[in-house]
Amino acid sequence: MSIGLETKVGGLALANPIMAASGTYGYGLDLLEFCPPERLGAFVTKGLSPRPRVGNPIPRIVETAAGMINAIGLQNIGVEAFCRDALPVLRQRGAVVAVNVFGERMDEYVEVVERCEREDGIAAYELNVSCPNVTAGGIEFGHDPGQLKRLTAMCRTATHRQLWVKLSPNAPDLVETARAAVSGGADAITLINTLRAIAIDAEKRRPVLATGCGGLSGPAIKPIALRMVWEVHKALPAVPVVGIGGVESGRDVVEFLLAGASAVQVGTAIFREPGAPLRILSELERFCVEQGVAEVRELVGVLEWP
């Protein structure tokens, strides 16, 4: 039995529901021998700002139980270098590219989008309004529905491409925030970014990370991510959701689809295993065969709530 793996996120048709998440897959060309980008439904770039960013001092990462906390601080090569060096290769390979967009001010988001609009081969933008690791911009927009609506609308004006907004699980009212993104013109919502977290060195009586706080990812956050996907899907059933948070297996993907996600991003799992997205895809296929699911789309949002 051949499984229909195709899915749609808003107006974007994907060959399969597995994406590589922003910040875990570089600019799409770092892990070619383990997971070439064209085999994925799509991949999301490392967050790109108008100009290169050097990022935070070290230590930037720490492992925790079934998770890790990072405070990279959006170190990136800048949108220009991405368009010049990576995009031509990605286009040639036929990868479906979503550009993760970051700015310290609203006009910087628009600047990144406008630069990308001059290029072919970009399918979607994912606005990063939820990075817990930079002090300026980003998270301020993600926590304030009014500002988020305005930011989304500004980017909406700049493009006809698919526009996703990656929301913060740390926002005071998630559904309200999602509603704001949609009313600003977002085509889909990505849920969730990392959770603000601290690891403490007991002997030194200091936080482990140089920045104090960071963002928690990995299997530890999956139950929270599932709950948030489900809540947004229930409140806004017409809005496509891209699920992310601790996906390590094909079953995890099924759980996110059931909770209402149309596609799923694999993040921290790539750090454990560079070929994880493709392993997870084949596990998803096997699950469907075993469960008699003909098309993965059937699974989206059909969670039976008790």
Q: How many alpha carbons lie under 13 Å from residue 167 in its C-beta half-sphere? A: 31
Report phi then psi at 293, rounded to 5: -95, 120
Residues 86-125, mask of contacts with other proteins (x by CB under 8 A):
x--x------------------------------------
**Does residue 83 carry a catalytic annotation?**
no
Nearer to other proteins by C-beta: 127 or 216?
216
Q: Are 169 and 147 in contact (CB under 8 A)?
A: no
Q: Are 166 and 127 in contact (CB under 8 A)?
A: yes
Q: What pairs with residue 42 in β-bridges?
A: 19
Could you say whether residue 128 binds other proteins (CB under 8 A)? no
Stretch that binds other proteins, among 66-74, 98-106, 176-184, 229-237 (CB under 8 A): 66-74
Could you say whether residue 51 binds other proteins (CB under 8 A)? no
- DSSP codes of every residue in 208-226: SSTTSEEEEESGGGHHHHH
Burial annotation 61-90 (CB, 10 A radius, 16+ → b, else e): ebebeebbbbbbbbebbbbeebbeebbeeb
Q: Are 78 and 50 in contact (CB under 8 A)?
A: yes
Could you say whether residue 203 binds other proteins (CB under 8 A)? no
Stretch that binds other proteins, among 108-116, 123-131, 272-280, 288-296 (CB under 8 A): 272-280
Closest distance between other proteins and the C-beta of residue 13, in Å? 27
Report phi then psi at 128, rounded to 5: -95, 95
> What's the rounded Cα separation, in Å, for the pair 298 and 283?
17
Closest distance between other proteins and the C-beta of residue 85, in Å? 4
Closest distance between other proteins and the C-beta of residue 126, in Å? 17
Closest distance between other proteins and the C-beta of residue 59, in Å? 6
Closest distance between other proteins and the C-beta of residue 52, in Å? 8
| Residue from 180, 201, 44 nearest 124 by CA | 44
Q: CA of 105: how far to CAs of 72, 101, 271, in Å?
A: 19, 12, 30
Residue selected from 29, 153, 175, 236 as contacting other proteins according to rule CB under 8 A: 29
Q: Tell me which of 131, 155, 213, 288 is the catalytic residue.
A: 131
Could you say whether residue 67 binds other proteins (CB under 8 A)? yes
Residue selected from 1, 54, 202, 238 as contacting other proteins according to rule CB under 8 A: 54
Could you say whether residue 75 binds other proteins (CB under 8 A)? yes
Longest Cα–Cα distance in the chain:
58
Residue selected from 130, 168, 193, 268 as contacting other proteins according to rule CB under 8 A: 268
List Cβ neighbours of 272 (8 Å cut-off, separation of 6 or more).
Answer: 248
Could you say whether residue 270 binds other proteins (CB under 8 A)? yes
Closest distance between other proteins and the C-beta of residue 301, in Å? 27
Q: Which residues are catalytic?
A: 131
Task: Tell me which residues touch other proteins (CB under 8 A).
Answer: 23-27, 29-34, 46, 54-55, 58-68, 70, 72, 75, 77, 81-82, 85-86, 89, 218-220, 248, 268, 270-275
